[in-house]
Structure 1
Amino acid sequence: MHIKIPALLFVLVIVSGCAHQISSNSVVLSRTQAEMLLHQCSRPTPDNVDGFWSVSDQVAQNVDRDIDKISTLQSTARIAISRPHEYFRQYGGIVISGRQFVYINAIRYTTLGQTELPWKTKAVRICDGGETSWGALYDPATNSFSQLEVNGSI
């Protein structure tokens, strides 16, 4: 299935912070930027976040290793993501009810290819666009994913 990217894709980049790259498609953002990842405009993000933590390279590599498991999930809008490894991914450490999770902010390559977004260092916020952008949680204790959500449609 080939998805058209809306001509009016609204993109915001939230400034400040640093990051370190894990692979050519993934990066771990700073705690400050991890907090910014939760301010998406057209998709739900996790509730009841107690705090933030610095994701280690090993945990990020585990997310990369397991990323294709995302394709077994469906969002609340009943949308699945095929080939999640083909998206650029930003990882931020969040704490929910005392447990550490990695929040994944994923952006389709073609979306970033149309703009000059500093996705490797700054939290990216894309409004609308459907499955061109999605988010999910990764539990490093169980190596499992949950709470897949895709952006709203125009």
Structure 2
Amino acid sequence: MAAATRLLPLLFFALAACAQPTAPDTSGAVQEEVAELWTDDTRTVLSGDAARTLAGQCSRISPGPVEDVWTPDEAQIERVEDDLILRVAREMEARGQSPSPGGYYRQYAGFMIDGRRIIYVNGVDESAIQNASGPAQAFDWRTQPVLICDGGAITFGAEYDPATRQVSHFAFNGPY
């Protein structure tokens, strides 16, 4: 019951956002929800070869072509999350799911695409992270890219342009 009560404000904001222009909503209430739902311990920034690996998705459109990689800083990642959380809620709702994006872990990578810096986000449901990161496994989602084929809304990808603060190419994985 407590979890449902915490999610009611997010549902309100998600529904309100659907009726308003698509400009990023950076109100204090939304930022408070982001701080509560998407925390530092459920996100990571990948760099180098680990980042490049995220560009090779198997059941959703891959970003690119990727010309190079770069590493986004903490302030850039916070802006992505401020602008992305409502988009994830709207996309979940459009699929007939509860618009609660709080259960996603996020992996970020900086890509150069068409001469522009793009931040790519690979969102993965916490159940998939927990199943892959058990004590018997040597997998660490903080340093290794998570690539899941199919699975529907268990994972999503999106490109974020830090210059325009626009989310594009949002997609969940293909069906189960």
* TM-score when normalising by structure 2: 0.66
Structure with bigger gyration radius: 2
Deviation, structure 1 residue 48: 2.5
Distance 1:45 1:80 in 2: 24
In structure 1, the residue matched to 2:42 is: 25
Which blocks of at least 5 consecutive residues in structure 1 are unaligned? 1-21
Q: Where does structure 2 lack aligned partners over 5 or more consecutive residues?
A: 1-38, 134-138
Q: Is the 8 A contact 1:67 1:85 kept in 2?
A: no
Q: Which residue of 1 aligns with 2:16?
A: none
In structure 1, what is the equivalent of residue 69 of structure 2? 52
| Alignment correspondent of 1:131 | 153
CA displacement, residues 39-66 of structure 1 (integer Å, 9 cap, x when unaligned): 1221111232221111111111211222
Q: CA RMSD in A?
A: 2.3
Relative distance call for 1:85 and 1:139 in structure 2 (3 A) is farther
Change (3 A) 1:139 1:111: same
| CA shift digits 1:77-134 (9 cap, x unpaired) | x748833343000000001111101000010011222231411111111111101011
| TM-score, normalization by structure 1 | 0.75
Q: Quick check: which one's strand share is greater?
A: 1
Larger RCO, structures 1/2 (Cα 8 Å, 6+ apart): 1
Matched, 1:42 2:64: no
